[in-house]
Structure 1
Amino acid sequence: MNATLRKFGTPAALALSLSLSGGAALAAAEDVVIEDVEFSFEGPFGSFDPLQLQRGLKVYTEVCSACHGMKYVPIRTLGDEGGPQLPEDQVRAYAEQYEVFDEEIDDYRAAKPSDHFPESMLENAPDLSLMAKKRAGFHGPYGTGINQFLKGMGGPEYIYSLMTGYHETPECAPDDFPGSYNAAFGAGGFPEECKDEEGHHTVPGSWINMAQPIYDDSVEFDDGSPADLESASKDVAAFLTWTAEPKLMARKYAGLTGVLFLTVLSVLLYLTNKRIWAPIKGKKKD
């Protein structure tokens, strides 16, 4: 069945198109400001916080989905273990916010959990399904290095820093320069007035085509959690990490199981080797 999904009652696009996945490469590490944020899912024993993912889902639904889609994410996964873990009735109710054009009936119908999130209706607004994997927040020599070894790729940190990286336009920039100044975005436009004699940037970041999407109290969380800019940005960054890595916890458990198995196997091989060679090594030469 070929079905086209669209947002039911989608509001008008909030802002200019997002350059989040623009073709230009990100600027060097010293030209952008990426904050190292602590997330619950980091480290070998970390895991997603279902309540945080639920809050992030709300931020995405009420703010981000006006411009951006997640066409690779099935709605039914909102109830999966390790994810937001919504009850089945809530997953079904959430799906019904959208409608699907069903070619079999040649008409629109309410979406089901088996359908995917809608894709963006804007050509220049990138899909957010895999954005946390696509973007590397931390850089070192040749694009890798010690920062990524210690802190990871930094995809969620990049999203968080981008959401909180909007600042007042630097004094060096002309008033009519297009876009919004963002200290975490390094692939946008940059005025010549903000470069020194050697062409180096005098301020971090660049000008992005997307206006600031999240502000303090942009959403209201049902559990009374803080909805300031930093908290909401962290929640949506965690949610987009889950959409990009929905099996992250399963992979961690599999890796831990593998390490334990190899450890036990190594001990058994050592004891076996010692037992086999003990009689031979114990013989004295005549």
Structure 2
Amino acid sequence: MRKLKAAALAAALSLGFLAAPAAQAAEGHISIPDTRFSFDGVFGTFDRGELQRGFQVYKEVCAACHSLRLLSYRNLRDIGLSEAEVAAIAASYQIQDGPNDNGEMFERPGRASDRFRKPFANDAAARAANNGALPPDLSVITKARVGGADYIHALLTGYQDPPPAGVTVMEGMHYNKYFPGHQIGMAPPINSDGQLQYADGTRATVDQMARDVSTFLTWAAEPELEQRRAMGVRVILFLVILGGLTYAVKRKVWADVH
């Protein structure tokens, strides 16, 4: 069942994410709601609980079809997981390695230093498993799509069944009020409350799961976001202090002239 849900997510995201930029230009009237994430704004930070739950959504729903090729398992320590937890997660995957002394490739349990395992050996295999659609890598998807995390959250929560009165949905398509054109060829991947059982006991509503995975994918695209913002604040404070000192020195030097 999870594989079917993951396949639906793969088709949805590949159709939605790949078509979104051009389609949004033509469908400029579609307004993506502001979800108001914890990391919004100059002083925004990632909520570690949301990050860990978002990873769980990615792992249980998305990972069967979507890669995160720019991340290593050890990066998960940055979302609050312990070294033991990271090691256990990595070891739960079989990673291709080699060649060995006989020139053959082999599989071994994953290590924390390994990149996230790709769900398919190559693009052709990915297309064959998803009715010709290529599930995009999600490493930087929030930076690559207009709206970022807001767009992902809106897409995952924007399904409407039945569709609005007077709207005819083509066979095999689904109505999504935030998808350009409003008709998308995927079933809703996050389709009911309680679809997952969160490890921390948080109630897994559709909105919560969409918010959590959107937060996780934003962190995956910009894991240095918090450090960069902190550095920016320090630089601004330094420049303010330096400007004040410079002005004070100028007043002192030119005091006799005035």
Q: Does the TM-score normalized on the shorter chain lie above 0.5? A: yes
Deviations 1:203-253 (A, max 9, x none): xx4222222101211111122112010111111110111001100000001
CA-based RMSD: 2.0
Task: Quote the residue 2:145 is aligned against.
Answer: 135
Say if 1:206 and 1:62 are closer, same or farther in 2 by CA, change over 3 A: same
Q: Counterpart of 1:26 in 2: which secondary structure?
A: helix
Answer whether contact 1:120 1:127 (CA < 8 A) is retained.
Answer: no
Structure 2: any 5+ residue segments left out of the alignment? 121-125, 128-133
CA contact (8 A) 1:98 1:111 kept: yes
- Which stretch shifts more, 58-67 or 206-215? 206-215
- What is the letter of the counterpart of residue 110 of structure 2? A
The C-alpha deviation readout for 1:121-172, integer Å capped at 9, x for no partner, is 22311111111111122xxxxxxxxxxxxxxxxx111111010001123454
Residue 180 (1) aligns with residue 178 (2): no
Matches within 5 A, 1:102-141: 102-105=97-100, 106-121=105-120, 122-123=126-127, 124-137=134-147
Unmatched runs of 5 consecutive residues or more in structure 1: 1-9, 138-154, 187-204, 282-286
Q: CA separation of 1:30/1:249 partners in 2, compared to 1, >3 Å: closer, same or farther?
A: same
Which one of 150, 153, 157 corresponds to residue 160 of structure 1? 153
Match of 1:212 in 2: 188
- Go from structure 1 to structure 2 and tell me whether the alpha carbon gap of 1:267 and 1:175 turns closer, same or farther (over 3 Å shift): closer
Q: Whole-Å Cα distance in 1 between the matches of residues 225 and 88 of structure 2?
A: 26
Letter in 1 for 2:251: K
Equivalents in 2 of 1:125, 1:254: separation in Å? 35
Alignment-derived partner of residue 26 in structure 1: 23
Q: CA deviation at 1:27?
A: 2.2
TM-score, with length taken from structure 2: 0.84
TM-score by length of 1: 0.76
Q: Which has the higher helix share?
A: 2
The equivalent of 2:200 in structure 1 is: 223
Shift of 1:26: 3.0
Identity of aligned residues (%): 38
Letter in 2 for 1:163: L
Which stretch of the first structure deviates more once superposed, 164-173 or 67-76?
164-173
Q: How many residues align?
A: 234
Q: Map 1:248-259 to 2 at 5 A.
A: 248-259=225-236
User: 1:199 is matched with which residue?
Assistant: none
